[in-house]
Chain A
Amino acid sequence: MRTKQRAVRLVGDYADLILRLSYTYLGSAADAEDVCQEVLLKLLGRAEGFESPEHERAWVVRVTANRCKDLLRRRAARPTVALDEAPEPSSPEPVDARELPALVLRAVMRLPLEYREAIFLRYYENYSVRDIARACGCSEDAAAARLSRGRAKLKVLLKEAGYDEEDL
């Protein structure tokens, strides 16, 4: 019973987060679902507690990121078309507001991995630059640079897709 209750709680708290973070890395919802199951199983099997909910959440983010990077390393040996090399539709149409979330997400997913990782942590998980640096294993300067370059490249990609936010 206790295991079931814990599983339900963990799924409720983290399944969507792991899915979104894994998708950010892998670009595949199916692969992201697999990672979700693996990470949650690992969390469920963990005998030790966490110091706080924030500590638990940070553990989930770190373990998910590491698992995705493992998968990407293995995938590197396979001949696939990277997202940023995939052809995009030409002749951008004016963007309908209802399409904007999907358009921005697609554009973020075309950024290099380091940039979209930083953007996810900053703009979805609300991490500070220091926390991003810690999560990504880089210096704070490097983390800030990844954010800055990511935003700049995102602006270009969105403009190509027909969207230009004034304050971007």
Chain B
Amino acid sequence: MKKTFDAYREGLDALSFSPAEKNELAKGLVAAASPRRHPWAARAAAAGVVLALGAGAVTAYATGALGAAAEFLQDVFGMRDEQVEDVSRMAGVAGSSATDGGVTVSVSAVIGDDTFYAVVYTLDPEDPTLFDGVERFEDGKVGLALGPEGSFFPLVSDSDSGGASAYFYDADPEDPALQLVQLCWAQTEGGLSGQTAHVTLHDLYGWGDEGRSAEPIATGTWELDVPLEYEDTSVELASGLETTYNGCDVTIDRLTLSAIGVHVEYTLSGEPLEAGRQGWELNLPVVVTLEDGPSIDATWSGGSGETLEAGGTAQMTKGMGFDRIIDVEDVASVRVGDLWIEPSA
């Protein structure tokens, strides 16, 4: 028996990445993670965001809370003043709240499209001194972390895959509440817009150089519905167009652009020039160029798909949540491979 399972372990050990492959894998991870995570988080934290929404979010529309949501989103995404009205309309502000362990957690603002979404929660303690000892960082974030249990970020039931980055901040130092922002993406069969996602948050810990504190600041479980009832501004720019990449034929099955992200589904076929390079299938150039000049490069954004075998086909999908809210009408072109697609054409 021992000999057999020693052989089994030896057989499995033969399955491994080489040091060079691991290096490439790490580089690919950084590239895939960074564009989606950092611009959103960094800008929001640096801006000292303003959000004054609480548990009364259900009545937000009547009380003008949508304006506050837009104000928050303006700080997070750095939109221009003239966009505020549009963003007020796009944002969804409603959702459940849950109270446990002396803290009420409320879904305060949501914005997104069929793939990308940002959610803001407000954590309001019964004891106004509860968060007094929490570390405050120079970039505007506060040292708070969720416990290891729970679902961490909201997902709809038929999500194929998804991910999120998150941070806590203090929207208003004058009140005892803190905010949690989650910047998420998820892939579903029918798209996210209009669905209700669910999240279970569990326990709150302090966070600092040593990582999570040994003891929780608040113990509780907060189960929340997150209605993804924002206005999806997605437009489909292309379907069936063909280009080439790395020696392969590329068919753009679907290219969509929204105020907060770009998403492309494509099929590769043929024999790649660099078949051995890991993950190359996802590095198809995708660049959004705005009328006033700046470009948003989604080439190194995350995605998923199949490995292309020589002579076969591979279904791929990739996309990126923007670090700003754009007006789709302000987009001059979206480059995919060697194609420049103009939304207005």
Contact = CB atoms under 8 A, between A and B. Distances in A.
A168 B1 contact: yes
B29 A41 contact: yes
Given A41-B29, A51-B148, A101 B8 contact: yes
Contacts of A168: 1, 4
B8 A37 contact: no
B307 A33 contact: yes
Interface string A32-61: 111011101110111111110001000100
A46 B22 contact: no
Interface stretch (A6-14, A83-91, A128-136): A6-14
Given A41-B163, A101-B7, A108-B8, A19 B15 contact: yes
Nearest to A32: B15
B146 interface: yes
B32 to A, nearest CB: 6
Interface string A49-76: 1110001000100000001001000000
A104 B7 contact: yes
A11 B22 contact: yes
B309 to A, nearest CB: 8
Given A101-B11, A102-B11, A105-B8, A11 B148 contact: no
Interface in B1-46: 1-5, 7-17, 22, 25-30, 32-34, 36-38
A20 B207 CA distance: 33
Interface of B: 1-5, 7-17, 22, 25-30, 32-34, 36-38, 145-148, 152, 160-161, 163-167, 207, 211-212, 278-279, 302, 304-307, 309
B114 to A, nearest CB: 20
Contact of A48 (B4, B8, B148): B148
Given A15-B22, A48-B152, A49-B145, A70 B11 contact: no
A165 interface: yes
A165 B17 CA distance: 31
A44 B306 contact: no
B307 to A, nearest CB: 4
Interface in A73-128: 100-105, 108, 119-120, 123-124
A38 B304 contact: yes
Question: Among B9, B30, B304, which residue has the most Cβ atoms of chain A within 10 A?
Answer: B30
Nearest to B16: A16
23 contacts: A4-B30, A7-B29, A7-B30, A7-B33, A15-B25, A19-B16, A19-B17, A20-B15, A30-B307, A32-B15, A33-B278, A34-B305, A34-B307, A37-B278, A42-B163, A44-B29, A47-B146, A47-B164, A100-B7, A123-B9, A124-B12, A154-B4, A158-B4
A10 B32 CA distance: 15
A135 to B, nearest CB: 16
Nearest to B29: A7
A119 B15 contact: no
A94 to B, nearest CB: 15
A41 B8 contact: no
B31 to A, nearest CB: 9
B26 A8 contact: yes
Contacts of A123: 5, 8-9
Contacts of A120: 12
Given A20-B12, A55-B148, A101-B10, A45 B37 contact: yes
Interface in A143-168: 151, 154, 158, 165, 167-168
Contacts of B3: 165, 167
A47 to B, nearest CB: 4
A51 B147 CA distance: 9
Contacts of B164: 45, 47
B295 to A, nearest CB: 22
Nearest to B2: A167
Given A12-B22, A51-B148, 13 more contacts: A7-B30, A15-B25, A16-B17, A19-B16, A34-B305, A36-B25, A38-B304, A47-B167, A55-B148, A102-B14, A105-B12, A105-B14, A158-B4
Nearest to A8: B26
Given A23-B15, A34-B306, A41-B163, A119 B278 contact: no
